Amino acid sequence: MLFDDGGKSMLELAGITKTFGRHKALSDVSLRVFPGEIHGIVGLNGSGKSTLLNIMSGSPVIQNTGGYEGQICIKGRPHRLGSPIDSLNAGIGMIHQELSLMDMMTIAENIKLGREHVFPMGRKLLGRSFARINPGKNKADAQKAFGRIGLTVNPDQRVLDLSASMKRFVEVAREIDKEALCVLLLDEPTASLNHLDSKRLMALLRDIAEKGMAVVFVSHRIDEVMMICQGITVLQGGSVRARFDAPMFDARKISHAMVGGHVIKVQRTHAPHHVRPILNLRNFSATAPGGCVGPVDLDVMDGEILGVTGLSGHGKSALASGIMGMHPWSGTVMFEGKKIDDLQPDHMVSKGLTLLPGNRRDSMLHDHSVMDNIVFTAVQSKKRFVRGFFAGKIGLSDKKKSRTYAGECVSQYHIHCRSIHQKAGELSGGNQQKVCLARALASRPRILFVNEPTRGIDVNAREVILALLLQVNEQKNTTIMITSGEMDELKRICHRIAVFYQGNCVGIFSPETDDQTFDRAFSGDVQGRE
Amino acid sequence: MIRRLTGLFQEMCKAVSKKVTLHIPVPQVCISLFLLLLFCVALRIDIPVSWLISDALIRLVMNGVLVLALVPMLKTGIGLNFGLPVGILAGLVGLCVAVNFRMTGLAGLFYAMVISIPIAALFGMIYAFILNRVKGREEITATFVGFSFVPLMNFFWAVAPFSNPSMLWPIGGQGMRPAIGLKRYFAKSLNSLGSFSLAGVTIPLGMILFFLALCFAVHLFFKTRLGQAMMATGENERFALISGIKIRNMRTIAIVMSTVIAALGICVYAQSYGFIELYDAPMMMAFPAVSAILVGGSLKEKTTLTHVILGTFLFQTIYSVSGPVANDLLIPEVAEIFRLMITNGVILAALLYEGGRHKKI
């Protein structure tokens, strides 16, 4: 027991300090979470949120880099969390930002993985490892776990066929199925969900907390944290900057504590310059692993910012990658009035269409420098920054021009890095996204497809990225198609918003349209045109 | 005891790394220390060290080009080129053509290389066609491409219309001999180019410069726009795709490059060895090359030329030095067993350390 509260708290952290080499990632962080409480932890990228969660979940990264200082108590008993097993035994469950499920396994198999029921005779004869698994009992347990979160599922269904939100619920069910679980840690659980799915997940977390569990909720979405949490701890530079208790939450004060200043939200002010279409889709369909789109008819206007939204698994993200020719497609695509017969990524990039995927792992070279990343697509598709011989094919990169351009991007896009030669993989999520954006813009695209540009990044970086997109659209007349589940952001910067339901475009709405109409459109309940 | 010593050594390396902010490759340092120990023993039992060093330098280049042939495919993410025999066989055809026309000296070697390049490019295209169809399982497929290509070429060697009697079976006058002597043609032509003696050590300067020039050409290639595109394909294929790179083309270029360099490699190897070895001889030649690059510390896409040079030097030298030392110290019957046990053991320990460092959970 670290705090004098009569041993009531479920989770107690005292003086948690963690250093990576010379860098102090956490400094004297203390925290208390009571049973039934949902406690929010907010902070900018690099403020130490993930390190704190990694310590509590016994991540090997912490142990391999010298461990941590300070004390952790669960239900008043001190624990040294040196491995994920220690954490599990202490009653801590963790849900990571990225889904960690076996796609080819069933729901029941995923939930019981490593803790399967086996037939007793087999266990006696061959031991637990070689005994035959009892599928009936495992399924019953999976159904029971889902019952606790108020959902009914077929435990034999493969995880591959589930929507992103359902996969998240499987993870929650997996954690609460653990008998000793008393503290649940969630790292950006709603980052990959749209707002309706996020609402479902938050309702579920409230139910779990009411049953006596302590929940630690880490998110960049301040509104969600304020809605669900009873206490909020703000981290800044590895230290506790402020604490807030419900109901004394004030979004401005929380943002101020996180950023150390006020965040100015960007807002589109200009109408598009032209009204002629630049991209026409007719009867267009595409099949991507995350969902299918089409057949759809859509006109993208020259110089506009078009938002594309919908529930996860309803085809919104398949649209851009389909147009880029990255997945099987059918239908007609016309760019600047000319029909494109063969959609291939290299053809489309050379025509001036660029895609920025939502997954940052796919959109950068982590082991290469910031400079190499920024100029890469321009070098390959536009032969910029190349000292060419043999018609530029075997050209060497022009280091001087690349350095100058990368330096300009770093200062213009507020990329926080040690130098342009720092490895891009070492930057924080927000800065990586800025590098990705700088890379996409260096090839001077006519149309920029951006998938989830602000996923998993802090309020400050989010506004910088939205401002950049607006700036590029207004100053360079670049047509932008943003695929996102963040309605607030789409409403602030888009000229039009297309909503997709079951692969079809149910309507294109003005950003001024009210939330209820959008909610109905998400469930395919309303047809609308601007 | 050994564990304690290894632990102490690791701590020392860590401490030094921290102080001078340098990454010290522990496995390579371990093998180097073992090599140093072998040299000390050789010195103690009066084996001429100058001869060992001369041999090590020749073996470095002799095998180095074949190891260099692995780099393009590794950097493009296709993996280790276990199908190296494909390129080797193209090189052997070039060598046989040169011998058939009785080409001698450096010109003969050059002629053999020039002939083997288009043949290797053609073989490489076929090889690339196969590997591009089995994405994700390239290494095992490449192994069997190599294994099946060798018997196919065995048939060719048996019926090839070469006419130089020194290449053909003496009785019957048809079909190639398994080993063709190059002494009268271009054996040691590159070895002796600009070689000189320094303190009893023969330094094959021309040969070393040729190898370094080839390494530099590969290094420079990966600095070009095309080379960068290939490297991006290896590091992050999806990223390369959205950057407008034709993945299939990049993989094909890498495989053809690898095959062509392997063909050049066998030309250098054969002239140094003094024989062209046909039929089943190329079957297992990929394995020493692959072992060498792994010993050098190669981590797939992050392979550098340092890994090639260091790996070939350590791997080949440890083999060439341990032989005479073991023979001198032990009775001949057990010498070879102990030599293979210890040298392969050290290499395995080094590779385990490297693998363990990255897979530790």
CB spacing of B245 vs A346 below 8 angstroms:
yes
Q: Inform me whether the C-beta atom of residue A396 falls under 8 Å from chain B C-beta atoms.
A: yes
- Shortest distance, CA B18 to any CA of chain A (angstroms): 9
CB spacing of B225 vs A362 below 8 angstroms:
no
- Shortest distance, CA A325 to any CA of chain B (angstroms): 10
Q: Inform me whether the C-beta atom of residue B216 falls under 8 Å from chain A C-beta atoms.
A: no
Report, in angstroms and rounded to the nearest whole number, the Rg of chain A calculated over CA atoms.
25
The average pLDDT across B271-289 equals 91
**Quick check: ipTM above 0.85?**
no
Question: Which chain A positions have a beta carbon within 8 Å of B220's beta carbon?
Answer: 396
Quick one: closest CA in A to B361, which residue? A60
Residue with tokens 């963690």: A18
Residue A449 near residue A320, CB atoms below 8 Å: yes
CA distance A437 to A469: 9
- Shortest distance, CA A403 to any CA of chain B (angstroms): 16
CA distances from residue B64 to B186, B199, B209, B261 in whole angstroms, order as listed: 19, 25, 12, 11
Report, in angstroms and rounded to the nearest whole number, the Rg of chain B calculated over CA atoms.
21
b/e for A63-95, b at 16 or more Cβ within 10 A? bebeebebebbbbeeebebebeebbbebbbbbb
Which of B228, B236, B360 is nearest residue A64 as measured by Cβ atoms? B360
Q: Nearest Cα to A372, choosing from B222, B10, B273? A: B222
CA distance A450 to A152: 35
Candidates B233, B243, B250: best to mutate against A (most CBs of A within 10 A) is B243
In the predicted model, is pLDDT for residue B338 greater than 80?
no
Q: Nearest Cα to B27, choosing from B357, B361, B359? A: B357
Candidates A85, A324, A351, A362: best to mutate against B (most CBs of B within 10 A) is A362
The average pLDDT across A311-320 equals 78
CB spacing of B238 vs A357 below 8 angstroms:
yes
- Amino acid identity at A99: L
What is the largest distance, in Å, between two alpha-carbon atoms of chain A?
78
φ, ψ of residue B120 to 5 degrees: the values are: -65, -40
pLDDT value of position B356: 52
CB spacing of B244 vs A377 below 8 angstroms:
yes
* HEC per residue, A397-459: ECHHHHHHHHHHHHHHCCCCCCCCCCEHHHCCHHHHHHHHHHHHHHCCCCEEEEECCCCCCCH
pLDDT value of position B71: 95
Q: Nearest Cα to A7, choosing from A74, A66, A63? A: A74
Question: Which chain A positions have a beta carbon within 8 Å of B360's beta carbon?
Answer: 60, 64
CB spacing of B242 vs A346 below 8 angstroms:
no
Instruction: Render pLDDT for B37-50 as a digit per residue (tens, 0 to 9).
Output: 888 888 888 888 88
Q: Inform me whether the C-beta atom of residue A22 falls under 8 Å from chain B C-beta atoms.
A: no
CB spacing of B246 vs A346 below 8 angstroms:
yes
Residue with tokens 């169809």: B133
Q: Inform me whether the C-beta atom of residue B119 falls under 8 Å from chain A C-beta atoms.
A: no
Instruction: Render pLDDT for A120-159 as a digit per residue (tens, 0 to 9).
Output: 888 888 888 888 888 899 999 998 888 877 777 888 888 8
Residue A42 near residue A75, CB atoms below 8 Å: no
Instruction: Render pLDDT for B188-231 as a digit per residue (tens, 0 to 9).
Output: 999 999 889 888 889 999 999 999 999 999 999 998 888 999 99
Confidence of residue B112 (pLDDT cuts 50, 70, 90): very high
Q: Inform me whether the C-beta atom of residue A20 falls under 8 Å from chain B C-beta atoms.
A: no
Candidates B17, B224, B235: best to mutate against A (most CBs of A within 10 A) is B224
Which of B235, B241, B242 is nearest residue A367 as measured by Cβ atoms? B235
- Amino acid identity at A250: D
Instruction: Render pLDDT for B15-74 as a digit per residue (tens, 0 to 9).
Output: 554 444 456 677 788 888 888 988 888 888 888 888 889 999 999 999 999 999 999 999
Q: Which of A167-171, A174-178, B305-309 has the highest mean pLDDT?
A: B305-309
- CA A334, chain centre distance (Å): 32
The average pLDDT across A38-55 equals 85
Residue B297 near residue B311, CB atoms below 8 Å: yes
CA distance A407 to A311: 39
CB spacing of B360 vs A60 below 8 angstroms:
yes
Sign of CA dihedral B320, B322, B328, B333: negative
Q: Inform me whether the C-beta atom of residue B244 falls under 8 Å from chain A C-beta atoms.
A: yes
In the predicted model, is pLDDT for residue A45 greater than 60?
yes
CB spacing of B243 vs A350 below 8 angstroms:
no
pLDDT value of position A416: 82
Question: Which chain A positions have a beta carbon within 8 Å of B229's beta carbon?
Answer: 380
Pairing type for strands A11-20 and A69-74 reads antiparallel
Percentage with pLDDT > 90 across chain B: 52
CB spacing of B241 vs A345 below 8 angstroms:
yes
Instruction: Render pLDDT for A324-352 as a digit per residue (tens, 0 to 9).
Output: 888 888 888 888 888 888 888 888 888 88
Instruction: Render pLDDT for A438-495 as a digit per residue (tens, 0 to 9).
Output: 998 888 888 999 988 887 777 778 888 888 888 888 888 889 999 888 888 888 888 8
Query: Number of CB pairs < 8 Å for A and B?
Result: 74
In the predicted model, is pLDDT for residue B361 greater than 60?
no
Instruction: Render pLDDT for B299-326 as a digit per residue (tens, 0 to 9).
Output: 777 888 999 999 999 988 888 888 888 8
Q: Inform me whether the C-beta atom of residue B14 falls under 8 Å from chain A C-beta atoms.
A: no
CA distance A194 to B156: 64
